[in-house]
Amino acid sequence: MQPAPLYSDVADAPDGGAAYWLNTVDDVRIRIGVWDKGNKGTILLFPGRTEYVEKYGRTARDFATRGYAMLSIDWRGQGLADRSLDDPATGHVVEFKDYQYDVDAVVKAARTLGLPEPYYLAAHSMGGCIGLRSLIEGFDVKAAMFSAPMWGILMGPPVRPAAWALSWAGAQLGFGHKYAPGTRPETYVSAAQYENNLLTTDADMYKYMQDQVAKHPDLALGGPSLQWLYEALTETRSLGLMSAPDTPVLTFLGSNERIVDSKAVHQRMANWPSGQFVIVDGAEHEVMMEGPETRRSITDQTTAFFAGNR
């Protein structure tokens, strides 16, 4: 574990943060960001696809004011972590299970750094898919919070069979590194205007995300590869057939969700015995990056839930 860059100029995070390089067991270099001040425990934050440590600087600040330390991660293939393709703008993974190697490295690093226990999970979008797999396989946290978890990918009925067929062909025939149809090398917040964006109804938070990748373009990531799409479809289908783990969980979903499959989230939470499900009225995909009142409410509900499951 070696020191890594942390772009504090765009994170708006608590003072005293640090970043480190980690090497996974399959020899991929990933990055973590750590804000270690907190006497109530540590929140292990699993970001979504395209995301990076600095994007959750304000989230770390929100949790810190309530007494929690936080560790976030650049998954393999995004942020400052190793990217495996010649075109680094492509969101790519060889197999979805490889993300579990990143999880293992994170847990080891948290213990090496002596981050305060107990540990909790907070996971957004693709991180929610990775986090669910981790919990099913015995990930040792007291409780978890999911934000718009990717337990299914939103597609129209005519599109889904074509997505399966094309992504399977790419994965099997050697062009899995190509972009999935309809996606591009440019990262979403650089390509899309604030009006009617899919992420947040808060203009300030959207500018926060835009400024980060404008000032540090090495953080940016474009569309997913066909291989990533095939692996994501396969993983979400596989997880959908599995029973919920025993971990107490609190899940938030925006009422205007347009990225993940809301139906899959509703189905999962209806069958999670120790689960609580909250619809955030008017929110888009990134409920933790909505306006101040929504963020405050979600942070308060999350930390109260964690405190009740120590």
Q: Which residues contact 281 (CB under 8 A, 6 or more apart)?
A: 255
Hey, how many other C-beta atoms are within 10 angstroms of the C-beta on 27? 8
DSSP state, 262? Answer: H
What domains, with CATH codes, occur in the chain?
2-307 (3.40.50.1820)
pLDDT greater than 90 at residue 51: yes
pLDDT of residue 171: 86
* Confidence band, pLDDT 50/70/90 cuts, at residue 167: very high
pLDDT greater than 80 at residue 158: no
- State percent of the chain over pLDDT 90: 93
* Confidence band, pLDDT 50/70/90 cuts, at residue 156: confident
Phi, psi of 196 (to 5 degrees): 60, 30
Q: In what order do the strands lie in the sheet with 249-254?
A: 2-4, 18-23, 29-35, 69-74, 42-46, 119-124, 144-147, 249-254, 275-280
pLDDT of residue 105: 98
